[in-house]
Amino acid sequence: MALFHFLFLHAETLGIRLRAAHVNHGIRGVSSDADEAFVRRACAECGVPLDVRRLALGAGASEDEARRARYEFLDGLSREYGAKVATAHTASDQAETVLFSLARGTSVRGAGGIPYVRGAYIRPMLDVWPEERNRYLERERIPFCTDESNAGDAYARNRVRSQVLPALEHVHEGAARHIAEFARDAAETAAFVEEQAAELLERARRMHPAEVLDVYESSVLREAPRVVLRAALRSLIAPYADPDRECIEHCMRLLETGGMRSLSGRASFCVRQGLARVEPAQTADSAWQIPFAPGVYGLPDGREAEISCISFENYEKMGKEAQNPLCSCLDYDKIKTGTLLRPRRAGDRFSGPGRSQSAALKKVLNEQRLSHAARAGLILAAAGNEVLWASGLGAARGMLPGPGTVKVAVITIRKRGTI
């Protein structure tokens, strides 16, 4: 409510249009419904549009389940409206997150805690302490309600808040503030290391730019500082498995010895003939198919596909990346009846960008020098054997949004459960 009030008062100065979003997780029964009613009244009084998602997770739902459902909703709204999502995390939330991450085991990036900006998400209050927020609420006479589950110890984060941080403050006054300051330093360090890691992967890459699966020269990777190499391997592995310390160390040894490591059954990290790559697991289930319609769909290989529909105006706001020929955006109005999301099949034909006519998809893949593993992981949007879009290859000729487009389909392929 403090963030809502501030953004509402200063919307014109900030040059923003304000919307609100509320998720009723259905975990606290009547209390959850009362919170929703409170939010509805506050938005109605201010004339602020409100989007509400009602769930039925039940009292036994975990924090992680609730978080995934909440961010799935917010991600969809961000794409639909072409909007940023402002959350009201405070400096104390930062300190709790850092402690929780360190106890669980994390990298320098994890020690950086909650980022100020992550994609569409911004945290304007991350340097604000709860006592400062509470003084603002009191001074401005802003009504608010409190989630009573925050007072209990059912969730691990609550125990960090109610037991661990107070104990540290007893040992050293100002502990929470020092932890938050450390998080800023760690985040800056992590950003620098990740920049170096990206440059390392670029130097080590030995694949045609259009190849879906990149390969990297293991000798170039081995020469890098270990902290940079760890970050590089983490970025390669994260889409398929949790890149914990043991996994990263094993993959670093493989750069010396060669060999393979399975990544949660979804992929393998392989080093052969001096080249390293991550190969998605091949699935025997090639018969699956999904009607092309907005929604989130689980795939047999552990990934998930999301199809969303946005206006052409919001598509243009996505910038140059969205208008790249290899981008996963299609003119929704040109999608043919009966179009399916599916793996490749015999007889598929594709007219990629730059082609005057369609060709056998197999021929296109041969020209692009895609490996067997990359071909097995391809996902297509196809009407019969006519391929309208292929992951990594982009849209077929004439399917990209352009003048006259009203609605745009956005296809996202990701590791299942990724927020």
Intervals of CATH 1.20.59.20 along the chain: 205-280
CATH topology of domain 2-177: Rossmann fold (3.40.50)
Indicate the average pLDDT of the chain.
85
Specify the pLDDT at position 71.
86
Nearest to 392 by CA among 303, 324, 326: 326
Round to whole Å and give the CA distance between 178 and 180: 5
Joined together, the tokens standing for residue 352 give: 């990629």
- Number of Cβ atoms within 10 Å of the Cβ of 252: 15
- pLDDT score for 149: 67
Give the DSSP letter string of 300-347.
Answer: TTSEEEEEEEEEHHHHHHT-GGGGSTTSSEEEGGGPPTT-EEE---TT
Contacts of 103 (CB under 8 A, 6+ apart): none
Given a contact cutoff of 8 angstroms between Cβ atoms, the answer to whether 15 and 4 are in contact is no
How far is the CA of 238 from the CAs of 19, 112, 165, 196, 224, in angstroms? 33, 17, 30, 17, 20
Strand pairing category for 386-390 and 349-350? parallel
In degrees rounded to 5, what are phi and psi of residue 173? -60, 135
Look at residue 362 in the predicted model and tell me its pLDDT. 85
Give which of 307, 312, 296, 318 is closest to 408, Cα–Cα: 312
**Chain position carrying tokens 């790559």:** 277
Please give the single-letter amino acid code of residue 248.
I
Whole-number Å distance between alpha carbons of 84 and 102: 29
Question: What is d(CA 120, CA 117) in angstroms, rounded to the nearest whole number?
Answer: 7
Angle at 34 between CA 29 and CA 35, to 5 degrees: 100
Q: How far apart are CA 286 and CA 301, in angstroms?
A: 10
| pLDDT of 169 strictly over 70 | yes
Task: Evaluate whether 116 touches 123 at the Cβ level (below 8 Å).
Answer: yes
Alpha carbon 79 to chain centroid, angstroms: 13
User: CATH 3.40.50.620: which residues of the chain?
Assistant: 2-177
Question: Could you identify the residue written with the tokens 């730059």?
Answer: 354
Q: Which residues of 370-405 are buried (b: 16+ CB within 10 A; e: fewer)?
A: bbebbbbbbbbbbeebbbbbbbbbbbbeebbbeeeb
User: What mean pLDDT do residues 373-398 have?
Assistant: 86
**Is residue 75 over pLDDT 60?**
yes
d(CA 250, CA 261): 8
Helix axes 226-237, 175-204, angle to 10 degrees: 80
- pLDDT at position 159 over 50: yes
Cβ(353)–Cβ(325) below 8 Å: yes
Q: Which residues of 232-245 are buried (b: 16+ CB within 10 A; e: fewer)?
A: bbbebbebbbebee
Report how far residue 99's alpha carbon sits from residue 165's, in angstroms, rounded to the nearest whole number: 9
Sign of CA dihedral 4, 7, 9, 11: negative
pLDDT in tens, 313-325: 888 887 765 555 4
3-state helix, strand, coil in the chain (%, to 5): 45, 20, 35
Fold (CATH) for 205-280:
Chorismate Mutase Domain, subunit A (1.20.59)
Checking if the pLDDT of 68 tops 50, the result is yes
Give the Cα separation of 13 and 85 in Å (integer): 18
Nearest residue to 316 (alpha-carbon basis) of 398, 408, 393, 389:
408
Residues 331, 401: contact at Cβ < 8 Å? yes
pLDDT in the model for residue 193: 94
Task: Give residue-wise pLDDT tens across range 178-210.
Answer: 999 999 999 999 999 999 999 999 999 985 444
Model pTM score: 0.60
Task: Name the band, by pLDDT with cuts 50, 70 and 90, for residue 350.
Answer: very high
pLDDT digits (tens, 9 = 90+) for 216-275: 999 999 999 999 999 999 988 887 888 888 999 999 999 999 999 998 777 889 998 899
* Strand, coil or helix: 138: helix
Contact call for residues 59 and 154 (beta carbons, < 8 A)? no
- The residue whose two tokens read 């067997």 is 372
The two structure tokens encoding residue 317: 């706001």
